Structure 1
Amino acid sequence: MSFGGPQWPQEPQQHGGQPYGQQQPNPFPGAHAPDTPDWSALAEASAARSRRKRRMIFGGGALAVLVVGAIVATAIVSGGRSDDTAKNGSVTPTDSAGPDDSLTPTPTFSSVAPPPPPDPKDFISNETKDKAPLSAEGLFPGKKLTMSGRAYKKGATSSTTDCASVTQAPLGSILRKNGCDRVLRATYVKDGVAITVGVAVFSTEAEALKAKQQADGGIAPLAGSGVADFCRATVCLRRSNSIGRYAYFTQAGFTDGTKVTTADKAVYQVSDDLGTFAFNQIYARGRTQASAAAGAPGE
């Protein structure tokens, strides 16, 4: 049993031991035929073998041609696919957009985290870094301010290096003892309530913090520019706080001299608003200087 595939033709078989071809008649009837070869039969058999051999050679040659053709076709198709892939986005060193692309460096990324941005508080905590201009008009700009919809009209402003001269005892001696360099003041008024904000400037944060902790007495009220004297020989609301190298103090009371009590919520609201405003203005100095330092070359 064969297992598939073409079967090559088999040689024809003769029975009885006769050679290929037809048996020739005996020319001598009644006599025994001589044992001479049948040359005609032998010639015909030889010719048949030659024809079969030629057919086999021709068939093998045709098969070889088909195999070679298939190999060539496969190579062409494979080459075509390779070219098509390159044309459709395959990245190779020669697939550059321009002559200089091969010179473009590969981007690298540092594993070191960038430094954090400067802290605004650092710039308002020591005079060595706090170099921005400082004035009463710069710290308390404009003719009025608004806090949460509440508008306050600005009165007089002042600036002095004699810190004790603009205080009510014993705050003056406390400021002087802790190294006060300057006091800037501004007065605001709203609905019969006036308030003076005084910002004391020190060299370091530690000095300002001690002055705030030891605070006693208050900042002297600043009248003028449409605001009459207030908080004279009466009870007013005094507060103190600090941020960085700045300590700030407020004194608020009624313009008609009425004593302030804990029930006078309007006076407390004024004190809260102006204390917040002073804090914001001082912190804004630090933020502005920190932003400038972050954008400076070498920072």
Structure 2
Amino acid sequence: MSFGQGGPDSGWDPWKPQSQQQSWSGGGDAPDWAALAEASEARAKRRRLLFICGGALATVAVAAAVAVAVVSADGTGSASDQPSSQLPSTAGLPSATATAPSFAPTSAPPPLDPKDFIASAKKDTAPLGPDVLFPGTQLTMNETVYKKGPTADTRTCSGAAQQSLPPLLTANGCTRMIRVTYTKGDIAVTVGVAVFDTEAQATATKSQADTKSNIRSLSGGGVDPFCTGQICRSTTNSYGRYAYFTLAGFTSGKDVTEQDTAVFRAGDDLARFTFDQIHRRGQAQASAAATR
């Protein structure tokens, strides 16, 4: 062994910490420091390149893992790779409304019919009288004002009727007769409302009446007698358990002719008002029953 010589097999690497550097003294060639520096720089470049490539590969791997996780969470990863023949048919797919809550069908009850409450005495229990059916001191129909005159209310229906009407009222079971007179100038109209227990009785009275089935005119309280022997115009009708009549004429005692359109119009106005009042009676009771 020679000391002071450094050869290829000396075992020392300036970049290896565990290698031992031999001392140089005296003769022999000096180390090539430039070559050693170039080798060191080359190794440093290789390490940086490896580090950069490793970081890029790691980034790609993380991105791929995140993409796989997103696809898996969405539930479409496996199905999107399958051919269409392997997907469930339309019938096999879950319905969009399969899990929707269902509710029992509901519907509002039909409104109560006002006529049901005036068709029989059992349901028609509201107060009744001349001032109930014919309130106030006057009424206006089609811009025509009629003044209210005397009223009457009797349980003996035949006494408030004349000619062929009394036996019809008795036979069909009339229980009450309400009368009121309205005037306009020298025209007077008496309205009579016959009350029955059932709609069938009132309808029968209407159908059996003839041109001589009239009520008695009602005078007094400033209204002169009328239609006591003169020709007058009369009407007959029924609604629910009520039959209603009108008798219209002149307080002057003049006969009514076909040319006296004002008398016809007055009788029609009062007949219409009576119908409306009976219908309102049914409406009020139907409304009250609906809120109970």
TM-score by length of 1: 0.68
Secondary structure of the residue aligned to 1:115 is coil
The equivalent position to 1:251 in structure 2, one of 247, 255, 262, is 247
Report the Cα offset of residue 225 of structure 1.
1.2
CA–CA separation in structure 1 for the residues paired with 2:225 and 2:172: 29
- The residue number in structure 2 matching 1:190 is 184
CA–CA separation in structure 2 for the residues paired with 1:187 and 1:242: 19
Alignment of 1:125-164 (within 5 A): 125-164=119-158
- The residue number in structure 2 matching 1:278 is 274
Report the Cα offset of residue 142 of structure 1.
0.8
Alignment of 1:64-83 (within 5 A): 64=57, 66-67=59-60
The equivalent position to 1:63 in structure 2, one of 52, 56, 65, is 56
Please list every run of 5 or more consecutive structure 2 residues that lacks an aligned counterpart in the other structure. Answer: 1-31, 71-99
Report the Cα offset of residue 238 of structure 1.
1.1
Q: 1:213-249: CA deviations, max 9, x gaps?
A: 1114200001111101110111111110011110000
The equivalent position to 2:111 in structure 1, one of 112, 117, 123, is 117
Identity of aligned residues (%): 49
CA–CA separation in structure 2 for the residues paired with 1:262 and 1:107: 71
Q: Which amino acid aligns with 2:202?
A: A
Q: 1:158-205: CA deviations, max 9, x gaps?
A: 111100010002201101100101010000111211110000011111
The equivalent position to 1:264 in structure 2, one of 260, 263, 272, is 260
Change (3 A) 1:272 1:111: same
Secondary structure of the residue aligned to 1:111 is coil
The equivalent position to 1:169 in structure 2, one of 163, 174, 185, is 163
Q: Which amino acid aligns with 1:137?
A: D
What is the Cα-based RMSD across aligned positions, in Å?
Answer: 3.0
Q: Which amino acid aligns with 1:234?
A: Q
TM-score by length of 2: 0.69
The equivalent position to 2:199 in structure 1, one of 205, 225, 233, is 205
Q: 1:43-95: CA deviations, max 9, x gaps?
A: x9xx79x93763553233232454478689x89xx9xxxxxxxxxxxxxxxxx
Please list every run of 5 or more consecutive structure 1 residues that lacks an aligned counterpart in the other structure. Answer: 1-39, 79-105
Change (3 A) 1:154 1:107: farther
Q: Which amino acid aligns with 1:244?
A: G
CA–CA separation in structure 2 for the residues paired with 1:108 and 1:148: 54
* Number of aligned residues: 223
Change (3 A) 1:209 1:110: same
The equivalent position to 1:224 in structure 2, one of 203, 206, 220, is 220
